[in-house]
Amino acid sequence: MSALLWLPPRRHLGALTARLPKLRALLAQASRLADAEPGYAGLLGAVFSGLPKELPTAALTRIVDAPDDRDGRWLRADPCMLRVESAGVRMLACGALSLSADEVRDFCATLQPLFADAGWVLHAAASERWYVRLDAAHPRLGGQDPEHVLGAYIDAALPVGDAGRATRRWLNELQMALHEHPCNRARRSRGQPEINSLWLHGDGVAPASLTTAIAAAHSHDPLLRGCMALAERSALARPNGETGRILVDARDADDDAMVELLARLLDRHPSLQLQLESGERFAWHSWHRLRFWRRATP
């Protein structure tokens, strides 16, 4: 049974192949398949049936972050740093912001009244994955996932029409509420990025179920783990002797345990499928080692 490997986008693959040179050789030997849709949506779409076109990221990750309070419609409201420039507003940071528990508590205490005025509740289920429960009748809210926005101007990532205007109003109110927050003054003094807004994204309700041919996935990613839970399949950070087709999410080159698991697969598995987050897809079988004329480029 083949294993499926998720790999970083091509432009970031070097960090992983530097740690695992055998992967570069394997990609050179493998057969190229038709490209998939680039981005995380392309990875998920190749594995799961039943995902809506507008991915309800918040409801799916909430399955992992708050399994006892997951039903209904959810919106992600992730802490971020925006900067106003002459050409627009740019997202400088979202995620990996090293927020302490005290900072999360103090930021949420400041912002909760804003959401309470709308009849909503803000919940920081994880240090950098925050959620808002919306009422079912409210128009769609929020922009694209942060992975599409980081480092870029946010206008292109916001929806058009009423949804875009509503999202901009919320962003403006959040920025005003966080302006000169005591926690931000302390973060500036320590050389840390400020939390001057929340990025709203992933609005929606989780589907009732999903289907997949994957028996088990090895990943720390809450979105993949939430999808696996809906498909009633296991999602583990470490292998546990399961049988059937497995998926290994090796997009994080800094994850030592995942790199070690990937190295074992490359040594022992007779058949592998590989998909880069940038869309490139490959199939490798043990007999491909005979393709001695295919050499990895440096």
Residue 159 predicted with pLDDT over 90: yes
What pLDDT, in 10s, does the model give residues 273-291? 999 999 999 999 988 877 8
Q: Which of the listed residues 205, 226, 254 is the one where a domain comes to its end?
A: 205
Residue 57 forms part of a structural domain: no
Residue 95 forms part of a structural domain: yes
User: What is the domain range of residue 257?
Assistant: 3-51+208-290
Give the pTM: 0.90
- The per-residue pLDDT for 298 is 46
The number of domains in the chain is 2
pLDDT confidence bin for 237, thresholds 50/70/90 = low
Residue 189 predicted with pLDDT over 90: yes
- The per-residue pLDDT for 152 is 96
Average pLDDT of every residue of the chain? 92
Amino acid at 170: W
Same domain, 201 and 219: no
Lowest mean pLDDT, pick from 94-103, 234-243, 273-282: 234-243
Same domain, 41 and 159: no
Same domain, 181 and 76: yes
Residue 221: CB partners within 8 Å, gap ≥ 6? 249
- In this structure, are residues 262 and 24 in contact, taking their beta carbons and an 8 Å threshold? no
Same domain, 68 and 200: yes
Q: Which of the listed residues 148, 178, 205 is the one where a domain comes to its end?
A: 205
| DSSP classification of residue 257 | H
Q: Following DSSP, what letter does each residue of 45-108 receive, concatenated?
A: HTTEES--SS--HHHHHHHHH-TTS--SEEEEEEEEEEEEETTEEEEEEES-----HHHHHHHH
> Which residue's entry shows tokens 């090293």?
98
Residue 94 forms part of a structural domain: yes
Residue 230 predicted with pLDDT over 50: yes
> Which residue's entry shows tokens 């897809």?
281
- Percent of the chain past pLDDT 70, that is, above it, reads 96
Same domain, 29 and 85: no
Per the model's pLDDT, the better-predicted residue between 110 and 137 turns out to be 110
Residue 258 forms part of a structural domain: yes
In terms of average pLDDT, the best of 17-21, 172-176, 235-239 is 172-176
Same domain, 162 and 199: yes
* β-pair partners for 210: none
Residue 295 forms part of a structural domain: no
